[in-house]
């Protein structure tokens, strides 16, 4: 698949997750999926890990709005910078907003594709209460 095809797959993936469609995970993620995060070093691999990650993203916020600030695709890699805004509904955790608190979350991620499927996800995100929105 071309870099542009991978970009289109990813954009569709994000749109479907934004609608709460978790079935998209089985279509877009590889059975060899790996989430590489210093925050979650023991994250499960494969479609189970991809589903759990998608469920976490969908469940941790309501009324979320996602903005792709930048997206670049070269060969089998896709790099993006994104901003999420919404109300945090996840569990209380260090470094996360309080449940019910409005937030903005910025992130940078690199994805690797094989045959049109996401195999690797390297991402870093940071939450901030909405009254301290660093992006204005």
Q: What is the pLDDT of residues 98-136, one digit of tens each?
A: 888 888 888 899 999 999 999 999 988 877 766 665 555
pLDDT tens-digit readout, 7-59: 999 999 989 988 889 999 999 999 999 999 887 889 999 999 999 999 887 77
**What is this structure's pTM?**
0.85
> Distance (Å, rounded) from C-alpha 129 to C-alpha 123?
20
> Distance (Å, rounded) from C-alpha 136 to C-alpha 134?
6
Architecture of domain 3-132: Roll (3.10)
Structural element, H or E, at residue 40: none
The residues spanned by each domain of the chain are 3-132
> How far is CA 23 from each of CA 11, 68, 92, 131, 133, rounded to the nearest angstrom?
15, 22, 27, 34, 32
51, two tokens? 């589903």
């Amino acid at each position: 698949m071309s870099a542009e095809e991978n970009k289109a797959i990813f954009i569709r993936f994000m749109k479907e997750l934004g609608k709460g469609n978790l079935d998209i995970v089985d279509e877009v993620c590889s059975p060899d999926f790996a989430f590489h995060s210093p925050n979650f070093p023991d994250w499960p691999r494969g479609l189970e890990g991809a589903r759990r990650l998608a469920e976490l993203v969908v469940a941790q916020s309501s009324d979320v709005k996602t903005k792709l600030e930048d997206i670049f695709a070269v060969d089998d890699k896709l790099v993006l910078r994104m901003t999420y805004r919404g109300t945090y509904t996840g569990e209380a955790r260090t470094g996360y907003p309080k449940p019910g608190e409005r937030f903005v979350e910025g992130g940078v991620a690199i994805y690797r594709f094989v045959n049109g499927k996401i195999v690797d996800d390297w991402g870093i995100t940071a939450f901030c209460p909405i009254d301290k929105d660093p992006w204005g």
